[in-house]
Amino acid sequence: MIPAVLAGLGTGLSLIVVIGAQNALVLRQGVLRQRVPVIVTICAGSDALLIALGVGGVGAALTAWPGALEVVRWVGAAFLVGYGVLAARRVLRPAALEIGGAASAAIATCLALTWLNPHVYLDTVLLLGTASTGFGGDRWWFGLGAMAASALWFGGLGFGARWLSGVFTRPSAWRVLDAAVAVVITATGVSLVL
Protein backbone atom coordinates (compact mmCIF):
# COMPACT_ATOMS: atom_id res chain seq x y z
CA MET A 1 0.00 0.00 0.00
CA ILE A 2 2.65 2.59 1.02
CA PRO A 3 4.87 1.92 -2.04
CA ALA A 4 1.85 2.35 -4.33
CA VAL A 5 0.86 5.65 -2.66
CA LEU A 6 4.42 6.97 -2.89
CA ALA A 7 4.71 5.89 -6.52
CA GLY A 8 1.41 7.62 -7.31
CA LEU A 9 2.56 10.75 -5.48
CA GLY A 10 5.87 10.86 -7.35
CA THR A 11 4.36 10.08 -10.73
CA GLY A 12 1.58 12.61 -10.20
CA LEU A 13 4.04 15.35 -9.22
CA SER A 14 6.27 14.60 -12.20
CA LEU A 15 3.33 15.18 -14.54
CA ILE A 16 1.75 18.20 -12.85
CA VAL A 17 4.78 20.34 -11.97
CA VAL A 18 5.19 21.68 -15.49
CA ILE A 19 4.77 25.25 -16.67
CA GLY A 20 1.46 25.67 -18.38
CA ALA A 21 -1.62 27.79 -18.60
CA GLN A 22 -3.44 26.13 -15.71
CA ASN A 23 -0.51 26.55 -13.32
CA ALA A 24 -0.06 30.15 -14.49
CA LEU A 25 -3.73 30.85 -13.74
CA VAL A 26 -3.44 29.32 -10.26
CA LEU A 27 -0.29 31.35 -9.67
CA ARG A 28 -1.96 34.55 -10.93
CA GLN A 29 -5.02 34.06 -8.70
CA GLY A 30 -2.77 33.20 -5.76
CA VAL A 31 -0.68 36.34 -6.19
CA LEU A 32 -3.86 38.39 -6.46
CA ARG A 33 -5.30 36.47 -3.46
CA GLN A 34 -8.58 36.15 -5.31
CA ARG A 35 -10.81 33.09 -5.50
CA VAL A 36 -7.87 30.85 -4.52
CA PRO A 37 -9.93 28.21 -2.67
CA VAL A 38 -12.34 27.84 -5.60
CA ILE A 39 -9.59 27.71 -8.23
CA VAL A 40 -7.54 25.18 -6.23
CA THR A 41 -10.63 23.06 -5.64
CA ILE A 42 -11.56 23.06 -9.34
CA CYS A 43 -8.04 22.02 -10.38
CA ALA A 44 -7.45 19.37 -7.72
CA GLY A 45 -11.03 18.08 -7.83
CA SER A 46 -10.98 17.75 -11.61
CA ASP A 47 -7.66 15.91 -11.46
CA ALA A 48 -9.03 13.57 -8.77
CA LEU A 49 -12.07 12.75 -10.92
CA LEU A 50 -9.97 12.16 -14.04
CA ILE A 51 -7.41 10.07 -12.14
CA ALA A 52 -10.23 7.95 -10.70
CA LEU A 53 -11.60 7.45 -14.21
CA GLY A 54 -8.15 6.42 -15.43
CA VAL A 55 -7.54 4.01 -12.56
CA GLY A 56 -11.06 2.65 -13.11
CA GLY A 57 -10.23 1.76 -16.71
CA VAL A 58 -11.83 4.56 -18.73
CA GLY A 59 -8.53 5.16 -20.54
CA ALA A 60 -8.79 1.76 -22.20
CA ALA A 61 -12.36 2.52 -23.27
CA LEU A 62 -11.33 5.90 -24.73
CA THR A 63 -8.60 4.36 -26.85
CA ALA A 64 -11.26 2.05 -28.29
CA TRP A 65 -13.25 5.11 -29.48
CA PRO A 66 -10.84 7.12 -31.64
CA GLY A 67 -13.55 9.64 -32.61
CA ALA A 68 -13.67 11.01 -29.05
CA LEU A 69 -9.92 11.43 -28.94
CA GLU A 70 -9.97 13.19 -32.32
CA VAL A 71 -12.61 15.70 -31.16
CA VAL A 72 -10.71 16.39 -27.95
CA ARG A 73 -7.50 16.81 -29.94
CA TRP A 74 -8.90 19.46 -32.32
CA VAL A 75 -10.93 21.38 -29.75
CA GLY A 76 -8.03 21.29 -27.32
CA ALA A 77 -5.54 22.41 -29.98
CA ALA A 78 -7.71 25.39 -30.92
CA PHE A 79 -8.18 26.35 -27.28
CA LEU A 80 -4.48 26.04 -26.44
CA VAL A 81 -3.35 28.08 -29.44
CA GLY A 82 -5.97 30.73 -28.59
CA TYR A 83 -4.80 30.89 -24.99
CA GLY A 84 -1.18 31.06 -26.18
CA VAL A 85 -2.07 34.03 -28.39
CA LEU A 86 -3.72 35.78 -25.41
CA ALA A 87 -0.60 35.20 -23.32
CA ALA A 88 1.57 36.58 -26.14
CA ARG A 89 -0.68 39.63 -26.32
CA ARG A 90 -0.15 40.22 -22.60
CA VAL A 91 3.62 40.11 -23.23
CA LEU A 92 3.24 42.93 -25.75
CA ARG A 93 0.94 44.91 -23.45
CA PRO A 94 2.32 44.38 -19.95
CA ALA A 95 0.60 45.78 -16.92
CA ALA A 96 0.92 45.51 -13.19
CA LEU A 97 -1.44 43.23 -11.34
CA GLU A 98 -5.05 44.12 -11.79
CA ILE A 99 -6.92 43.89 -8.54
CA GLY A 100 -10.51 42.85 -8.93
CA GLY A 101 -11.96 41.26 -12.02
CA ALA A 102 -14.96 39.08 -12.47
CA ALA A 103 -15.00 35.91 -10.40
CA SER A 104 -17.01 34.19 -13.12
CA ALA A 105 -14.29 34.93 -15.70
CA ALA A 106 -11.54 33.40 -13.55
CA ILE A 107 -13.66 30.35 -12.78
CA ALA A 108 -14.71 29.89 -16.43
CA THR A 109 -11.09 30.21 -17.54
CA CYS A 110 -10.00 27.67 -14.93
CA LEU A 111 -12.67 25.20 -16.06
CA ALA A 112 -11.69 25.69 -19.71
CA LEU A 113 -7.96 25.31 -19.00
CA THR A 114 -8.73 22.14 -17.08
CA TRP A 115 -11.32 20.42 -19.26
CA LEU A 116 -10.40 21.62 -22.77
CA ASN A 117 -6.71 20.76 -22.49
CA PRO A 118 -6.12 17.35 -24.11
CA HIS A 119 -2.93 16.89 -22.10
CA VAL A 120 -4.92 16.69 -18.89
CA TYR A 121 -6.62 13.58 -20.28
CA LEU A 122 -3.33 12.12 -21.46
CA ASP A 123 -1.68 12.72 -18.08
CA THR A 124 -4.50 11.73 -15.75
CA VAL A 125 -6.73 9.25 -17.55
CA LEU A 126 -4.27 7.55 -19.87
CA LEU A 127 -0.78 7.83 -18.29
CA LEU A 128 -1.72 7.60 -14.62
CA GLY A 129 -4.46 5.09 -15.38
CA THR A 130 -2.02 2.89 -17.28
CA ALA A 131 0.70 3.28 -14.64
CA SER A 132 -1.76 2.21 -11.95
CA THR A 133 -2.24 -1.20 -13.58
CA GLY A 134 1.32 -2.12 -12.56
CA PHE A 135 0.16 -2.12 -8.93
CA GLY A 136 -2.59 -4.72 -9.34
CA GLY A 137 -4.83 -4.69 -6.28
CA ASP A 138 -3.06 -1.59 -4.96
CA ARG A 139 -3.87 0.46 -8.07
CA TRP A 140 -6.38 2.58 -6.13
CA TRP A 141 -3.68 3.41 -3.59
CA PHE A 142 -1.52 4.55 -6.50
CA GLY A 143 -4.44 6.67 -7.67
CA LEU A 144 -4.84 8.21 -4.20
CA GLY A 145 -1.15 9.10 -4.21
CA ALA A 146 -1.56 10.83 -7.59
CA MET A 147 -4.64 12.67 -6.31
CA ALA A 148 -2.67 13.79 -3.25
CA ALA A 149 0.07 15.09 -5.56
CA SER A 150 -2.47 17.23 -7.39
CA ALA A 151 -4.00 18.58 -4.18
CA LEU A 152 -0.57 19.34 -2.70
CA TRP A 153 0.69 21.03 -5.86
CA PHE A 154 -2.35 23.21 -6.55
CA GLY A 155 -2.81 24.04 -2.87
CA GLY A 156 0.86 24.95 -2.46
CA LEU A 157 0.94 26.96 -5.68
CA GLY A 158 -2.32 28.81 -5.06
CA PHE A 159 -1.90 29.56 -1.37
CA GLY A 160 1.90 29.92 -1.48
CA ALA A 161 1.85 32.43 -4.33
CA ARG A 162 1.13 35.26 -1.91
CA TRP A 163 4.84 35.28 -1.09
CA LEU A 164 5.55 36.18 -4.72
CA SER A 165 3.20 39.14 -4.79
CA GLY A 166 6.11 41.59 -4.46
CA VAL A 167 7.82 40.13 -7.52
CA PHE A 168 4.66 40.02 -9.61
CA THR A 169 3.66 43.62 -8.98
CA ARG A 170 6.18 44.48 -11.71
CA PRO A 171 4.93 44.15 -15.28
CA SER A 172 8.27 42.64 -16.36
CA ALA A 173 7.68 39.59 -14.14
CA TRP A 174 4.32 38.93 -15.77
CA ARG A 175 5.90 39.44 -19.20
CA VAL A 176 8.43 36.68 -18.52
CA LEU A 177 5.76 34.31 -17.19
CA ASP A 178 3.34 35.09 -20.02
CA ALA A 179 6.10 34.70 -22.62
CA ALA A 180 6.95 31.25 -21.29
CA VAL A 181 3.26 30.29 -21.16
CA ALA A 182 2.70 31.61 -24.71
CA VAL A 183 5.57 29.56 -26.12
CA VAL A 184 4.78 26.33 -24.27
CA ILE A 185 1.01 26.44 -24.75
CA THR A 186 1.10 27.48 -28.40
CA ALA A 187 3.71 24.81 -29.17
CA THR A 188 1.56 22.22 -27.39
CA GLY A 189 -1.53 23.24 -29.37
CA VAL A 190 0.36 23.17 -32.68
CA SER A 191 1.87 19.78 -31.86
CA LEU A 192 -1.61 18.36 -31.36
CA VAL A 193 -2.52 19.33 -34.92
CA LEU A 194 0.74 18.15 -36.47
Summarised one tens digit per residue, pLDDT across range 69-106 is 677 678 777 877 887 887 788 788 765 545 445 677 88
pLDDT at 146 over 90: yes
- Give me the pLDDT at residue 73, please: 73
H runs (alpha helix) in 93-138: 103-115, 118-120, 129-132
pLDDT over threshold 60, residue 17? yes
Q: At what angle do helices 21-32 and 36-55 cross, to 10 degrees?
A: 150
pTM of the model: 0.78
Domain that holds residue 18: 2-193
Task: Please report the pLDDT score of residue 59 as a whole number.
Answer: 67
Asked if the model's pLDDT at residue 68 lies above 80, the reply is no
Total structural domains in the chain? 1
- Of the chain, the end-to-end C-alpha distance in Å amounts to 41
Which residue, among 115, 77, 87, has the nearest Cα to 28 in the 3D structure? 87
**pLDDT of 99:** 47
